[in-house]
Structure 1
Amino acid sequence: MTENKKRPNPIDIHVGSRIRLRRNMIGMSQEKLGEQLGITFQQIQKYEKGTNRVGASRLQAIGGIMNVPVSYFFEDAPRDGAGGPEFGEPPAPSFETDFLSTTEGIQLFRSFTKITDPKVRRRVLDLIKVLAAEEE
């Protein structure tokens, strides 16, 4: 008898990763998001892993809480057939998602967005470019 475990759909995995990304960007815990939705943090974990599919009304509620349109959760989503990964194959994570899933990435994002002076922002960006070039 073969074991037939259903793998999460690549779109569900992508939507979940976008929920996690946005939640981390705004500094919200799984507990806080779950509380605002009236569900447990374990359910949020399942959504973020793609294990459980997020329904349309729930996704709209999440977007409202996180102040993003529903379309945000589908940005860069894999497409079946149209040059995207094969069905059942997990989507390749994007550089932005990988970067903003790290503690350093989140801290850098939050700190950089607090800088209001465009000249200072430009200097910070120039500094990062110089440091990155030194690494090569």
Structure 2
Amino acid sequence: MKRSTTEFDKELGAQVRSVRVAAGMTQSELGAAVGLTFQQIQKYEQGANRISASMLLQLSQALNADFSAAVALEGARPSGEVRSREEEWLLADFARLDAGRQRLVLDLVRTLAGA
């Protein structure tokens, strides 16, 4: 039985795409770095194919990014969320920070938002 992709697969793929674009890397370059074709990267970015944990690790290393925050937040955000271009940029840059700096940024945002 084939498992279908979910909204989270699409969101994670979109985040991979945002980080790749912010890094100035093409789909072909990212594919070469992780041993895939640009078509396979394209399917991941579109959410047509699920990204395995081991592939997510390889993509993280190739992009020098940390996607753990996106994975940890899966289920913490409402479905059907639409993001602005600025939010996509923020997420892409946030994913490139190490875990310690991500925590600092998150604390800052929560303080500014009054949460």
* Interval of TM-score (by shorter of Structure 1 and Structure 2): 0.5 to 0.7
1:25-79, CA deviations, whole angstroms, 9 ceiling, x for partnerless residues?
A: 01000000000111100000000000000000000010011111231443764x2
* RMSD (Å), alpha carbons: 2.3
The percentage of aligned residue pairs carrying the same residue is: 34
Unaligned runs of 5+ in 2: 94-115
Give the one of 69, 81, 84 matched to 1:92: 81
Whose radius of gyration is greater, 1 or 2?
1
**Contact 1:20–1:48, Cα closer than 8 Å, also in 2:** yes
Q: Which residue of 2 aligns with 1:40?
A: 37
Q: Which residue of 2 aligns with 1:26?
A: 23
**TM-score, with normalisation over the residues of structure 2?**
0.65
* Pair 1:70-2:67 in alignment: yes
Q: Which residue of 1 aligns with 2:102?
A: none
**TM-score, with normalisation over the residues of structure 1?**
0.55
TM superposition outliers: structure 1 runs of 4+ over 3 Å: 72-77
**Contact 1:19–1:73, Cα closer than 8 Å, also in 2:** no
Unaligned runs of 5+ in 1: 1-5, 86-90, 101-108, 110-136
